[in-house]
Every structure is written in structure tokens, then in C-alpha cells.
Chains A and B, each alone.
Chain A
Amino acid sequence: MKDTILSVRGLRKHFTASRGFPRATTVTIRAVDDVSFDVGAGESFGIVGESGCGKSTTGRAILRLIEPDGGTVRYRGIDVLAAPPGALRDLRRRLQIVFQDPYSSLNPRLKVGRALAEPMRVHGLAKSADEIDARVRALLDEVGLPPDSADRFPHEFSGGQRQRIGIARALALEPELIVADEPVSALDVSIQAQVLELLRRLQAQRGLSFVFIAHDLGVVRYFCQRLAVMYLGRIVEMGPAADLFSDPLHPYTRMLRDASPVPDPAMRGRLPRIEGETPSPAAPPSGCHFHTRCPNVMPVCRERYPSAVEIGTRQVSCHLYGTSAT
């Protein structure tokens, strides 16, 4: 890996919720529990997992869009979580986010040109109105939208075009790292490919780093060099994307891979018979959270959460690989 620019250690975010009637009880949801990873300069780091695994919360906690409860996030040596307002403002410029749903993440009453100009004005990136105008046009061109888009409203665009606007907005501040939270999952396949190509091109041209959050393993495989697999708030396996898919170490990674349908009828019949569903993150199973669905479950799995073990380029949290394995 190249020089680390983002370093996350022991990130934690617990939500509390009151549930039940007539007597509400307070439950704690450990959305993100002790998550650590590094992202290198110019690297795409993927986070995958099923709904409720904490991948989006992780993405937002890094940017302090949700304040984390614990852990540290360092960006180029700067402590993001302890940054005073002035420094945080500068960090916000360098760290941007692209959301999943381009429909709800754009202000319907702002013309696209204004939506793109606003952050430039707030951060004082451009002085005159002409300069802002020129930059907006350059941005639209860069993401493949016609120049007259600036004078139109978000509802006049298709889903794929709106996602391009969302990307242009993230780029408006010349960021260095972008958290992309399911940026293509709301799009049709042919449009999805267009947006993925655009993101790759931007990455190459601008040297951007990405934290790329997705549930579609194919998309992550295409876009990311390294990735982390999350299950119920924790990273269960992390390593280079190619190795992770060709030889998954953690039983959950294997289950995810085998359950992802491959567009090739010759591979049919491999559909795994999976038992059980993801337990509620409000009441994760004892020990290893995955033991209720794991085909390799051992007695120790019900008692202790496995500690992370380094195996080659990979890191895996599973008793099969620990010293405690039989």
C-alpha cells in the first residue's frame, strides 16, 4: 500500500433507542464497534456488508456527519475527531461524500449551477461571480453533463444524471478523499457502468482516494483494490479484493461471495442453502456475532469474540485461524 492518508482506529458508534409499549425499554445498537482500517493515497478502499452491518454509519462517522462515540480518525496526521471548528472546516473541504440517492440529496429548489456554486462560495475558493461560473461549467463538463445543466433544476434530470450532479458537487471543493456511500446502487446496469467509469476516470485524473461503501460485490470488485467485510458492526475480514474473493478466509465472506449471483448459467446450481437471517444489531449473538449462521461453528465461537489475526496480506477475525483453533 502507498502512504496512508486516512487512518481509522477503534471507531465506535452506539445508538440508543426506546422500544416497546406500554413500558419502553432502552436498547443499545452497536452500529459500529471497534472498526480500524487504513486508506492509502489514491486508493479505493471498499466496505461491504448487508443492511444493518454498519457500513454507512462508518462512512459518516469518519466525516463526523454522525459524531462517533469513540476511536480515532486521522487524516494526514490531523485528528479529525478532535479538530477545532476552523480546522474541521478545512477538513470538510478535503473530505467529501457522495450519497446513494441522488433524488433526495439535492435541493429541489436550487438550480444545479447554484447548488455547485454554494460550497465554492462558502469556502472562498473562487472570488468573482465569473470565476465561479467558469468553475461550475468546467465541473459539469468533467462529469459529462451539458453546459446548460447549470440553469436547470434537479427534477429535470434522470437518475444517472442526478448522480453525476452529486459527484460534481462533491468535486466542487477539490477534495482529496471521497466517501462514496452506495453511489451506483440506485441506478440501472448500463447507467451504473457509466457512473463507475466516470468515478474511475476522476480517480486517475485527480488522484482521489475513495472509501467506497456498497453491498454489490461485483461493483466493489471492479472499483476497489482493498476491502473490508463488515458483519453486525465489526470488520470480519480485510485485505486485497482479488484475494478476498478468490479465497475467502472468513466463513461469512465465503457465504457472501457464494450468494452473489454470477451472470453465467454454467455456474448454476452453486446457489448455497443458507440457514437463518442476520440477527438484529440491537441484540447481536454472544461471542462471534456470526456463530448463529456459521457452517464451521465451534464451542469457543459462542463464548468469545475472536481477535483479529494477520494472515499474509489479510486480516481476519475468526476462531478458525486463531491460536485457539482446534
Chain B
Amino acid sequence: MTTPATQRASTDQSVLDRPVLAIDDLTIEFRVRGQWHAAVRDLSLSVGRNETLALVGESGCGKSITALSVMGLVPKPQGRVAKGRIDVDGQDIVRLDEARLEKIRGNRVAMIFQEPMTSLNPVLTIGFQVAEALRVHRGLDAAAADAEALRVLEEVKIPSAARRFHDHPHQFSGGMRQRVMIAMAIACKPALLLADEPTTALDVTIQAQVLGLLDDLKTAYGMAMLFITHNLGVVATIADRVAVMYAGEVVEIASVHAIFARPAHPYTEGLFRAIPRIDRSEQTLSAIAGQVPSIDRMPGGCRFAARCPLREPACDASSPRLEEIAPGHAVRCHVRGPARRVGMGAGGGVGG
């Protein structure tokens, strides 16, 4: 949903068309041995209403910290948002103070995590934990909050929710705990849901259930969902658009159909070739050689160059920019970028 601001629309319409989340030129840095290093660099993306953007990448690529920054949760003092804007509903999160942030967290923006047991309070009942957000953000009294919490628990399909309302997290299975966490997140009907690997710890049959539930809720509330995962099967199942991250940068962004049909970045291609598939017999995997550079040893040019099969001198000389090669499909690559695509760039006119 990269909506070019259409002029004819009324003000109300433009609010509806405006992306729920718009990240612009975001750089997040961490201090390693007294030096600031960028964990996320020049990241721009947007998510619209009723849209799921999957943020894909391997461990350490910066996808989780990107989501945390949207919650205003970049750990301080070792981390900082060095530049950029994060607009949620048109309001820049980066420049809000803690008191204002608390009004947004768990209310307009909610997050669910990979491991529900470590995100739920073990000594409080699940009913209390779901109702808490409603008491704090909606100002409901205890009885009204409990009634609403029960409704939400039923909505996420906790079996016999009324009977289990006063149970504690350890009395639930992993899949059910994840449902409780989803109930906490959606209790205040957030405009934006950040889901950080929500199904990674679950068995496949339970994963299928939770993915179905999240998709239903997204449609029911018209939520924008930023879905972080490393599992490309999950991406194909749930995403509308996909952003692939490598070493802190978005290297490719496109609709889910375009990226699976025509991956442009060599890293994206490599990822697809590295997954063993159940619907293929006798496949040959090709691994991506080498490993992700560490945060304090990022190369000067393209960050993927050292592992890239298409590497050229230009790749070490300068960092490529994220550029469109088709409407809604952008790639950060000297070789596969738009300069070569137009056909006459055979001489390699990109830098030198």
C-alpha cells in the first residue's frame, strides 16, 4: 500500500489512506567498545490499514530492534535512534516523551513476542493481565474491564474462557499462552500490531492455528500488522508485502507475489534457494557461503558483497541505494538495480 497522496480525497479520506506506520530513514545505533555502530541503517517502510508487511531476515539483521523502536523501546543508554522518523497515525514516536509513549504502547500500538512464557507475568491470572490494558488505557472499572477481557479471550478462541479466566500462565499450553498474549495485544483494538516471530516456538499444527487467528483479527479490526519472521513459508502464508533485511538494511521490498516470483536481490534469491521444501523431491539446496558481518565490522560498500555471487568492483566501492525497479518493488543492489535494468547499462555505469 504505497499510496501516492491522491489530491481529490477529502481530509477524512487522506487520514484513511495515510499509512498507519511510516518509518522514514531510520538509523538505530548501538555502542560497542565506545563507538556507535548502526544496527539499522536508512530504513524506510510503511504499513497501511488492513495490511500485513513481513519483515524477513536472519538473526542479527535488525528486524526485532526495528519493531522495538516503533514501541519506543530501544534500550538506553547503549542504544539510540540516531536519525529518522517513525510516524504512527501521523505522530512521530521518536520525539515523544515517556509519558506520551505510555499512552500509545499497548493501546494504539501493541506487540506480541516469540516466547509467551517470558512475556506473561507468572504470578498474575491471565484474566487480570488482559483486563489491565483496558483499565489503564480505556479507564474501565474492574467489572467492565473483566467483562471485556473475557470477550477478547473468547475472540482469540481460548476454550472455556470463562472457566479459565482466573488461571495462571503455567496452566496453559504454549499455543494457548500465545493466544493469551494476542488477547492482551488486541484488547484495546490497536491500529498497529507488531508481531515478533509469534509462531516460531510453536508446533506446526499450532502455528497454523495462530496464523489463521492473526489473519482473521487483522481483517476484523483493519489492523496494520508488521510481522517479523525468518520463516519464508510463514511469509508466503500471511504477508501482503515483504521487506527483506540484511545486516541492518532493507535490501528488497515488494508485494509477496512479486518477491517470490521475481526476487531481484541476490540475498533474497539465496534465501529462497536455501530452504528445503516439502513439495519438492530431489532438490539441491544452495547455501549462502560465509556469514553476516558483525556490527562493528561492517564493510564500506554493499554489506552483502562478501557473500554475493554477483560481486563486482563497484560493490566494494559504494553502498547501493534502495531503488525501484518496478512499481512497488525496490532493491538495494548495484548489479540488479534500475540502472542496469533499463537495458543499456551493459558497460556497468554504476560508480567505478
Contact = CB atoms under 8 A, between A and B. Distances in A.
- Report the contact-size class of chain A (Cβ under 8 Å from the partner): 35 or more
Given A193-B287, A262-B277, A267 B236 contact: yes
A260 B206 CA distance: 10
A263 B275 contact: yes
Nearest to B281: A242
B196 to A, nearest CB: 16
A278 B173 CA distance: 9
A190 B288 contact: yes
A190 B287 contact: yes
Interface in B196-226: 203-209, 211-212
B278 A197 contact: no
A191 to B, nearest CB: 7
Among A51, A265, A273, max chain B CB count under 10 A is at A265
A190 B271 contact: yes
Contacts of B212: 271, 273
A196 B208 contact: no
A222 interface: yes
A252 to B, nearest CB: 9
A261 B277 contact: no
A262 B236 contact: yes
A245 interface: yes
A257 interface: yes
B237 A271 contact: yes
Which of B204, B274, B275 lies at the interface centre, i.e. has the most chain A CB atoms within 10 A of its CB? Answer: B204
A64 interface: no
Interface stretch (A102-110, A165-173, A213-221, A296-304): A213-221
B204 A260 contact: yes
Nearest to A191: B291
B291 A189 contact: no
Interface string A262-284: 11111110011110011000000
A265 B256 contact: yes
Contacts of B231: 261
A197 B285 contact: yes
B338 interface: no
A268 B234 CA distance: 10
B257 interface: yes
Given A160-B291, A262-B236, A221 B278 contact: yes
A17 interface: no
Given A263-B232, A274-B208, A196 B276 contact: yes
B274 A245 contact: no
A112 B316 CA distance: 34
A274 B207 CA distance: 10
Interface string A221-245: 1110000000000000000001001
A116 interface: no
Contacts of B209: 273-274
A258 to B, nearest CB: 8
A196 B285 contact: yes
A241 to B, nearest CB: 8
A274 B208 CA distance: 8
B121 interface: no
A265 B257 contact: yes
A2 B275 CA distance: 29
B84 interface: no
B207 A259 contact: yes
B270 interface: yes
B278 A215 contact: no
Interface in B61-76: none
Contact of A193 (B208, B274, B279, B280): B274
Nearest to A48: B204
Nearest to B58: A188
B280 A263 contact: no
Contacts of A188: 58-59, 230
Interface in B257-308: 257, 260, 270-281, 283, 285-289, 291
Interface string B174-206: 011000000000000000000000000001111
Interface string A244-259: 0100000000011111
A101 interface: no
A50 to B, nearest CB: 4
Given A189-B275, A197-B287, A271-B208, A261 B237 contact: yes
A259 B236 contact: no
Contacts of B232: 189, 263
B210 to A, nearest CB: 10
B278 A245 contact: yes
A160 B257 CA distance: 31
A277 B234 CA distance: 20
Contacts of B173: 277
B233 interface: yes
A263 B276 contact: no
A286 interface: no
Contacts of B150: none
A72 B6 CA distance: 74
A219 B233 CA distance: 13
B152 interface: no
A307 interface: no
Given A190-B287, A190-B288, A261 B236 contact: yes
B277 A263 contact: yes
Interface in A160-217: 160, 188-194, 196-197, 215-217
The 6 A-B residue pairs with the shortest CB-CB distance in the complex, in nearest-first order: A261-B233, A222-B276, A193-B287, A193-B274, A50-B203, A188-B58
Given A222-B277, A262-B279, 6 more contacts: A222-B285, A256-B205, A265-B260, A266-B257, A268-B236, A277-B206
8 contacts: A188-B58, A196-B287, A215-B204, A218-B277, A259-B208, A260-B233, A261-B208, A261-B211
